[in-house]
Structure 1
Amino acid sequence: MYKVGNIYFIAAVAVIGGALFGFDISSMSAIIATQAYLCQFNQLGRNENGLCMGPSEDVQGGIVAAMPGGSWLGALISGILSDRFGRKTSIQIGAVIWVIGSVIVCASVNIPMLVVGRIINGFSVGICSAQVPVYISELAPPSKRGRLVGFQQWAITWGILIMFFICYGCSYINGKAAFRLPWGLQAIPAILLYLGLMFLPESPRWLAKKDRWDEAKAVLTLVHGKGDSKSPWVNREMAEIRDMVEFERANADVSYFELFRPNMLNRTAIGVFTQIWSQLTGMNVMMYYITYVFTMAGLADANGGNAVLLPSGIQFVINVVMTVPALLWMDRWGRRPTLLVGAFLMCLWLSINAGLFAVHSRPARPGEFPSKSESMAISGPAAKAVIASTYLFVASFAPTWGPVSWTYPPELYPLRLRGKAVALSTSANWAFNFALAYFVPPAFVNITWKTYVLFAVFCAAMFLHVFFIFPETANKPLEEVQEIFDDSKPGAIKFLGTPAWKTRNTRHLVLKQERNELSSEEKIETPVEEQKGPLVT
């Protein structure tokens, strides 16, 4: 079958797997405030205005959390699937599972059926979200690695935006079709993903691990050699891959336990916490429950209409647009500065929102809002400031923690551990996504505005953690990453060879060396041929 070798086309098709997560976020956030949904899954009866109140806050949290719960398990299993069947095939398996889950969700007649469908959908998202970055990483050249893996986050934002406005349009439909139609339409991208992957090559590194050397060289020739099997680039790649595979076979079989050995434990902790902190920013919570926030800010229709959806959709547009700077300049900025700036700004906007609700809000009156989770009411200039701070929070997350949280973990690990290590890191993302999705509705009921304080404290903590522990990995070959974590160096911190704040992005030297423009004073230790691997190999 004909295979496409353009790396941008490969990334564009593969990241549809990330878009599936985006579809789920907005297909739930845009629907949970509509009367069609609240009446179909109604547990609390009707309020004084005759409006359906929908599920209880605990049950609603469980419905939302069902998807990340399934994703946690899917992410863990994805490492095994990926190592056995290949990066591309594991993503295709995820696409098939998504279609099955979408059918069940679309046909849901009660809450248990909806939860089961969302768990199945989550299982698919867990597989795709873990293995799409690995697949792209192992095909991309190092100078474009951050940008191409960052497409995963951009695809998520596009998925959120597209599905949100599909839901917005469907909200004008009377009856159950208002939520069944978008839930059914979200199966289409998974079908396109499965079919599109049929025309893409498998990871050359996985092929080499399976002793399929001719196929591995053919992929490198297609993607990097422009059809020339004698290209110096292809030969360097093949030599590097062969050395690496031989090294791995001289060591013990790879298992999850190896990630917790002393020489890997710190890398594992950093990769896992990168994904944990990306959830503790509160961004996905903001996405799931944005209609709650804007309803409390006075944007909802008193008759239970869909007036709150359009202003909520603006943040999804901001999310898409503000991810673009990271795609263009993430490799130039480096990972550390991007994460630090994002954590600081998000802490600022969360603190402002906490202060506004604490000072200017009042408790919601009985029957004022459809959901008990909409526990506060704020109006006037303070409400406008809440909306503005919410938009600025999204604009701060989109070019920082959003794309970097997917790009950074694969850069920490060697090839033999990458599939399982990234799967473990991503499973941490989904474990905390699950916990937070379940936690937020009761939190708004019980601690109200202090929910914002909690996430602001998390952002302050992640700023300190990144500054002291997270090293710069942008544009670095494996040997240099290993030196960063080498605790045998004189004067090194015991658990980190080179202090994180002393590591730097050497992109300008890498680019100069590739052009043979380095002076003797600028010469960096690792030769060019060791930098040509698609992902710090």
Structure 2
Amino acid sequence: MGAGAVTVNGHHEGFWQFVDPSRTWYNNRRIIALNGWIVLLLITSSNNGYDGSMMNTLQAESQWKDYFNNPQGSKLGLLNAIQNIGALAGYPFAPYLSDGIGRRPTVAFGAFIMCIAVAIQTAAHSTGMFIGARFLIGFGLTFAANAAPMLVTEISYPVYRAPLTSLYNSLWYSGAIVAAWTTFGTEYIHNTWAWRIPSLFQGIPAILQVLFIWFLPESPRFLVSKGRDAQAIKTLAYYHADGNEEDPLVQFEYQEIKAQIDFDKAVASKVGYKSLFTTPGNRRRMAIIIPIAFFSQWSGNGLISYYLTKILTSIGITNTTIQLLINGILQIWNLAWACGASFAVERAGRRLLFISSVVGMLTFFIFWTICSAVFAENGNTQAAHAVIAFIFLFYAAYDLAFTPLIVSYTVEILPYSVRAKGFNIFNFTISVALIFNQYVNPIALEAINWKYYIVYIAWLCFELAYVYFTIIETRGLSLEETAALFDGEGKRDEMAANAAEASKVSPPSPINEKDSAEFPEHSEHLDV
């Protein structure tokens, strides 16, 4: 922290000095309403999680396998990977739409495409039609997934920004849970509706977004970037200060947003992808963003996400009902750990969570590999049961950081001018990593079985070293301060000081005894 920086309850001064302690998520109706609308954005990730889990469990359903001629090897890889190939087709356009027409219309556009795609997938009567629909799902999801998390982080009440944005990727598992248990139930339908019903349910989040997205506020940062400052202030005031445009927090937020956007415009009249690699600060950002995107899919989790059925079969668990049951319980386990970690990001800090996550994954993956080898050598059923236990423990470790933080950390370290493009590169990297995994994993598992796990052990060792030396702590900072951190602490402190001076406001007075009695937990929210 720069010289002279002040802290409030352990946080860098910044916006914390202007936060009204009596205004919390549980006693302020406008913050409650804002968080409710944010849930509509968070379910974008649920759609993605639903897709992965649905494709995983359909591989265990005889009705789906029979209808599509029991796909194996590269054909099975294509059925899984085509959604991400569709996503690749949307990446060149998504950030320009987010920055051009706004976050909210971009989410609506992507959701509308997904509604059409899900209808085609549900009605599919051939493998080609099913593949085409999944391509279109990926294409639409690219637009929604580019804009939704940015809108979450840009409209959140600043105290709750980090946990809410971290929940975005954590709710991947909510979709996975619905898919896992839906397919568990439809397994007993002895016709094509066994897989058509799960396919139909995949469209629910997109339908909700198409219907209700227009009630959400647009990003104040987008509004300021388009010269609509009055509307930005009104939006900030309505949701962050009960409509008071002169509120100290609203004025500080507005001045900080405007200072950052004006600075970006002064530095570069035209901001393109090239700018992500031409400045030292942006190069530091991309040196973190691209690797953690790869790590999020290349840590061994891709084996479970798409090929759990094959893993369970390899250790002698071939009963379809048992396979679906294990998958359903695993998704609930993952959601619990990921949501818990989301609410701990400000207390524990990003760096500690990332390091702890990789250490845990490496440890449990080694034991998972050993137990798989023991079963392969002598058929020991206890070793097979231990594999299941270590899969659960591995995912608990993964969910400490690589579920909640990869999205929230990416969007918070990127300045507004390149946020959409930088986040697009993050999503593109994930898609490339997924396509590789979805094609290679089934082939490698079929060829060398458990020995393939050794590759991931070596990779996790590399991940640990990389995370340890590159992740920068960002807790307690506003969105603009976090982005400025990579350009030097002097820039961050100067920007915060300028915003405070320009807003010509002073922190709200401490709450009195009467307020303390009415809001006994007022001080706790500052530590969220």
Q: Same fold, TM exceeding 0.5?
A: yes
> Structure 1 residues 416 and 18 mapped into 2: Cα distance closer, same or farther (>3 Å)?
same
Look up the equivalent residue of 2:307 and give its one-letter code: Y
The answer to whether the 8 Å contact 1:5/1:223 transfers is: no
1:198 counterpart residue number: 214
> Map of 1:312-331 to 2, 5 A cutoff?
312-331=327-346
**1:79 Cα offset (Å):** 0.9
2:125 & 2:440 partners in 1: Cα distance? Answer: 25
Amino acid in the other structure paired with 2:388:
I
Q: Matches of 2:107 and 2:344 in 1, distance apart? A: 28
* Aligned-residue offset at 1:232: 1.9
1:67 deviates by: 1.1
**Do the aligned partners of residues 320 and 445 (structure 1) sit closer, same or farther apart at CA in structure 2, a change above 3 Å counting?**
same
Pair 1:17-2:35 in alignment: no
What corresponds to 2:300 in structure 1?
Answer: 282
Corresponding residue number in structure 1 for 2:359: 344
After superposition, the Cα gap between the structure-2 partners of 1:488 and 1:197, relative to the gap in structure 1 and judged at 3 Å, is closer
Secondary structure, aligned partner of 2:171: helix
In structure 1, C-alpha distance between the alignment counterparts of 2:263 and 2:350, rounded to whole Å? 29
Q: Does 2:122 align with 1:87?
A: no
Q: Deviations over 1:164-223 (max 9, x none)?
A: 101111111001111011101211221012222121111011011111222212211111
Deviation at 1:382, TM superposition (A): 0.6
1:358 corresponding residue in structure 2: 373
**1:123-272 map, 5 Å:** 123-250=139-266, 251-263=268-280, 264-272=282-290
Partner of 2:89: 73
Partner AA of 2:473 in structure 1: E
Question: Which position in structure 2 is the counterpart of 1:6?
Answer: 33
Distance 1:178 1:259 in 2: 46
- Give the 3 Å change call, closer, same or farther, for CA 220–515 of structure 1 in structure 2: closer
Is the contact made by 2:53 and 2:179 (CA closer than 8 Å) also made in structure 1? yes
Q: C-alpha offsets along residues 302-340 of structure 1, whole Å, 9 cap, x if unaligned?
A: xxx433211221111101111122122111111111011
Distance 2:172 2:100 in 1: 27
Question: Which residue identity does 1:258 align to in structure 2?
Answer: S
Q: Is the 8 A contact 2:276 2:286 kept in 1?
A: yes
Unaligned residue ranges in structure 1 (runs of 5+): 43-53, 363-376, 490-512, 518-537
1:120 aligns with 2:171: no
Distance in 2, matches of 1:134 and 1:188, equals: 22
In structure 2, the CA distance between the partners of 1:488 and 1:184, relative to structure 1 (3 Å rule), is closer
Q: For the structure 1 residues 67 and 473, does the alpha-carbon distance in structure 2 shift closer, same or farther, using more than 3 Å as the test?
A: same
Q: Does the CA-based 8 Å contact 2:248-2:508 persist in structure 1? A: no
1:462-500 deviation per Cα after TM superposition (whole angstroms, max 9, x unaligned)? 1110111221122235557645555999xxxxxxxxxxx
Aligned pair count reads: 464
- The CA distance in 2 between the partners of 1:414 and 1:384, in whole Å, is 47
1:26 corresponds in structure 2 to 53
Deviation string for 1:408-451 (max 9, x for gaps)?
Answer: 11122211111111111121111111111111110101221122
Structure 1 residues 292, 514: closer, same or farther in 2, change over 3 A? Answer: farther
* 1:436-515 → structure 2 map (5 Å cutoff): 436-477=437-478, 478=480, 482=484, 484=486, 486=488
Give the SS at the match of 1:30. helix
Could you say which residue in structure 2 is the equivalent of 1:51?
none
The one-letter code matched in structure 2 to 1:406 is: V
Equivalent residues of 2:315, 2:372 under 8 A apart: no
1:294 to 277, 288, 312: 312
> Alignment partner for residue 109 of structure 1, among 116, 125, 135?
125
Distance change (3 Å), C-alpha of 1:85 and 1:5: farther
TM-score by length of 2: 0.83
Kindly provide the CA deviation profile for residues 41-96 of structure 1, in whole angstroms up to 9, marking residues without a partner as x: 11xxxxxxxxxxx1121110111011122223334432111011111111111111
**Of the candidates 344, 347, 352, which is equivalent to residue 332 of structure 1?**
347
- The alpha carbon displacement at 1:241 in A equals 2.5
Pair 152,291 (structure 1): closer, same or farther in 2 beyond 3 Å: same
Amino acid at match of 2:90: G
Residue segments in structure 2 that go unaligned for 5+ positions in a row = 1-29, 492-505, 511-528
Query: Aligned partner of 2:425: which letter?
Result: L
Aligned equivalent of 1:413: 414
- Distance, in Å, in 2 between the alignment partners of 1:262 and 1:242 is 21
Tell me, yes or no, if the aligned pair for 1:298 and 1:379 is still in contact at 8 Å.
no
Question: Hey, what does 1:35 align to over in structure 2?
Answer: 62
Asked if structure 1 preserves the Cα contact closer than 8 Å seen for 2:375 and 2:381, the reply is: no
Answer yes or no: is 1:380 the counterpart of 2:367.
no
Which is further off, 140-149 or 177-186? 140-149
Instruction: Determine if contact 1:131/1:423 at 8 Å carries over to the other structure.
Output: no
Which residue type is aligned with residue 455 of structure 2? L
Deviation of residue 159 (structure 1)? 0.5
User: Is the 1:76–1:427 Cα contact (8 Å) retained in structure 2?
Assistant: no
Question: How many angstroms does 1:298 deviate by?
Answer: 2.6
Matches within 5 A, 1:396-435: 396-435=397-436
Please give the root-mean-square deviation of Cα atoms over the aligned residues, in Å.
2.3
One-letter amino acid of the counterpart of residue 37, structure 1: W
Name the CA distance, whole Å, in 1 between partners of 2:486 and 2:220: 27
* Cα pair distance change 1:351/1:515, threshold 3 Å: farther
- Do 2:315 and 2:375's aligned partners in 1 also have CA atoms closer than 8 Å? no
Q: Would the alpha carbon gap of residues 361 and 61 (structure 1) be closer, same or farther in structure 2, given more than 3 Å must change?
A: same
Q: Sort the Cα spacing of 1:458 and 1:488 in 2 relative to 1 into closer, same or farther, 3 A.
A: farther
Identity of aligned residues (%): 27
Query: Quick one: which amino acid aligns to residue 349 of structure 1?
Result: F
For residue 124 of structure 2, give the secondary structure of its aligned residue in structure 1.
coil
Deviations 1:1-54 (A, max 9, x none): xx9973321221111111110110111111112111111111xxxxxxxxxxx1
Stretch deviating more after TM superposition (408-417 or 284-293) = 284-293
User: Are the counterparts in 2 of residues 152 and 403 from structure 1 also a CA contact under 8 Å?
Assistant: yes
Q: 1:136 to 1:458 in 2, by over 3 A?
A: same
d(CA) in 1 for partners of 2:113 and 2:306? 22
Question: Which whole-Å deviations, capped at 9, do the CAs of 1:116-144 have from their partners, x for residues lacking one?
Answer: 11111112222222322211111124432
TM-score (norm 1): 0.82
Change (3 A) 1:479 1:405: closer
- Which one has a larger percent helix, Structure 1 or Structure 2? 2
Amino acid at match of 2:272: S
1:149 & 1:4 partners in 2: Cα distance?
Answer: 15
